[in-house]
Amino acid sequence: MKFRVSLLAVFFFFTAHLFGQDPYIDSLKLALKTAKHDTTRCYILTYLSEGASDKEWPIFNEQLKNLSEKNIATAQTKDLKETYLYYYATSLNNIAYLAEQQGDYKKALEYNLKSLKINEEIDSKSGTASSLNNIGAIYDNQGDISKALEYYQKSLEILKNLDNKKSLAYAFNNLGTVYDNLGDIPKALDYYLKSLKISEKINDAFGIEGSLNNIADVYRRNGEIEKALEFHFKSLKLSEKNDDKKAIGFSLTNIGVIYDSQNKFDLALSYFEKSLKIKEARHDKEGIAISYNNIGNIYRSKHELAKALEYMNKSLALHEETQNKAGIVDALNNIGILHLNLGQPDEGLTYAKRALQMANELAFPGSIKNAADILSRIYTSQRKFKEAYEMYDLQIKTDESLHNAKSKKAAIQSQFKYQYEKQAAKDSVAHAKETEIKNIAIQKQELELENKHKTQYALYGGLVLVLVFAGFMFNRFKITQKQKLVIELKEKETQNQKLIIEEKQKEILDSINYAKRIQLAQMPSEKYVSRNLTRLKKN
């Protein structure tokens, strides 16, 4: 969803949600009737051109154009003339927007270039940035990506130096759509999130709706369906609250696309038809063409091929009328595959070849992949296997560039970054405090981590020493145990030998005592000898 940037955005004195509310518009209408000076009338008409209903605002803008143009020629001072030139440029910008909505890109570009020239002449930075952005959006719709980027970037550089948050958010979003189409998902999501962050901060409902839808679409293409539905329903709820018909139609379409991808065809068809009714009421040719394409895809899924082809041809005709090259490529691809399904490969080949040629000119990887896939299948059905293989190879290479793991990882990282920043940056003081706390926390964590590492290293070193010491002690223990065992064995052997010696000594002593007892038993006692010697002496 691309955004038009209004010249009015530079001096927004009222919050965005006031626009479109009847009491506010009624008070402006009343003020217009009672205004006494043309400068005041131009000022009020500028706001009415921005905030009135789709039916009324072009009328107010025409009044603004006529009134400012009349006063340019009669202005008495340079400042007054420049004031009326500014209002005149605003009216031209609004005419360009209306022409773009009606699919007349040639007229839209013409009036935006006129507006740009006037803004540069009066040195209006905000007006110049707005015109540059809107010219970029036209080239974007026409598929001229290099020119779209050129004008978007010029606009962004000016807006960065202005206190114009709303326009800056729109510029970020528009750059996101370009990189999204080029398949650079990380860069696209980064710009979408920047846009959403600013829109939420200034409470710009329209900006929030667009960013939510674009972010949801990124999630859808990355296979995160539930997350995509969550963002689309948030956008739809906000659009309904603000009675923003264009945004409602956009959200309904995107929800239908998701249900289609889940094979919930009847549910998807109901959302597409609701969206179509809103777009038809607004005479939005580009939106109607997209709805025709989506409804055609549903009928193809339901195998009602003739009805599907009818809607696809209506879509192609409208895209060609509005010169929407990206839409033309999608329609050509879809018509090509339908002819193949109907058993008409030759007719399908014509459409698919046109699709691939335009997709290469636009440098849209997704469209190139789809065209290559269809051509590969058509060539296979025609038994042209060499051509079929070439297209299959192109399809694989393009698919790899679209869905690499690095892109998905970077997209998720961008989401986490946004979630953190959204919480931390509620206001500048809190943000600074949060940043300081965050830095202190990081330093503390780093210090704790360093200390932890040191502690771990010390523990590991100590553990190694303990293990070495334990090994040494275990070895000593084994040696000691072995020595103890040897000593015990020796002591046991010594004790055994001692016992043996004692046994031997006892045996010897016993033998000696025994011999002594025998000797004593055989020898006469002293008394006996003495008594006999005495008796002999007497005789």
Measured distance CA(236)–CA(216) in Å, rounded: 12
Q: What is the mean pLDDT of the chain?
A: 77
Question: Which pLDDT tens digit goes with each residue over 173-208?
Answer: 989 988 888 888 889 889 999 999 999 999 988 888
Higher per-residue pLDDT: 231 or 470: 231
Going by pLDDT thresholds of 50, 70 and 90, the confidence category of residue 255 is very high
Measured distance CA(509)–CA(507) in Å, rounded: 6
Higher per-residue pLDDT: 348 or 530: 348
Least confident range of 248-257, 326-335, 483-492 = 483-492
Statement: residue 428 has pLDDT above 50: no
Question: Which pLDDT tens digit goes with each residue over 303-336?
Answer: 999 999 999 999 999 999 988 888 999 999 999 9
Going by pLDDT thresholds of 50, 70 and 90, the confidence category of residue 22 is low
Closest alpha carbon to 356 in 338, 340, 333: 333
Q: What is the pLDDT of residue 403?
A: 60
Long-range Cβ pairs for the range 419-426 (8 Å, 24+): 421/197, 422/197, 422/200, 425/197
pLDDT cut 70: percent of the chain above it: 70
Measured distance CA(186)–CA(176) in Å, rounded: 10
Statement: residue 465 has pLDDT above 60: no
Q: Report the run of H or E that residue 354 belongs to, with start and end.
A: helix 345-362
Q: What is the pLDDT of residue 145?
A: 85
Q: What is the pLDDT of residue 530?
A: 44
Going by pLDDT thresholds of 50, 70 and 90, the confidence category of residue 401 is low
Measured distance CA(155)–CA(132) in Å, rounded: 5
Measured distance CA(474)–CA(185) in Å, rounded: 63
Contact (CB, 8 A) for 136 and 147: yes
Closest alpha carbon to 345 in 384, 293, 298, 398: 384
Statement: residue 509 has pLDDT above 70: no
Going by pLDDT thresholds of 50, 70 and 90, the confidence category of residue 53 is confident
pLDDT cut 90: percent of the chain above it: 42
Query: For residues 56, 57, 58 and 62, what is the CA-based torsion angle, rounded to 10 degrees?
Result: 110
Closest alpha carbon to 308 in 337, 285, 350, 288: 337
Burial class (CB in 10 A: 0-12, 13-18, 19+), 486: exposed
Compute the chain's Rg from CA coordinates.
Answer: 48
Q: Report the run of H or E that residue 18 belongs to, with start and end.
A: none
Statement: residue 55 has pLDDT above 90: no
Spatial CB neighbours of 432, under 8 Å, sequence gap ≥ 6? none
Q: What is the pLDDT of residue 304?
A: 96
Closest alpha carbon to 57 in 130, 4, 126: 4
Amino acid at 453: H
CA angle 84, 85, 88 (to 5 degrees): 85
CA dist 479 → 459, 474, 488 (Å): 29, 9, 14
Phi then psi dihedrals of residue 465, to 5 deg = -60, -40
Here the tokens at position 121 are 């002449």
Burial class (CB in 10 A: 0-12, 13-18, 19+), 63: middle
Averaged pLDDT, 422-442: 49
Tell me, yes or no, if the pTM score tops 0.75: no
Can you state the angle between helices 165-181 and 125-141, rounded to 10 degrees? 20
Question: Which pLDDT tens digit goes with each residue over 269-303?
Answer: 999 999 999 999 988 898 999 999 999 999 999 99
Contact (CB, 8 A) for 53 and 29: no
The alpha helices in 242-304, defined as continuous H runs, are: 245-261, 265-281, 285-301
Most confident range (mean pLDDT) of 128-132, 361-365, 419-423 is 128-132
Contact (CB, 8 A) for 134 and 95: no
Residues present in the chain in total: 539
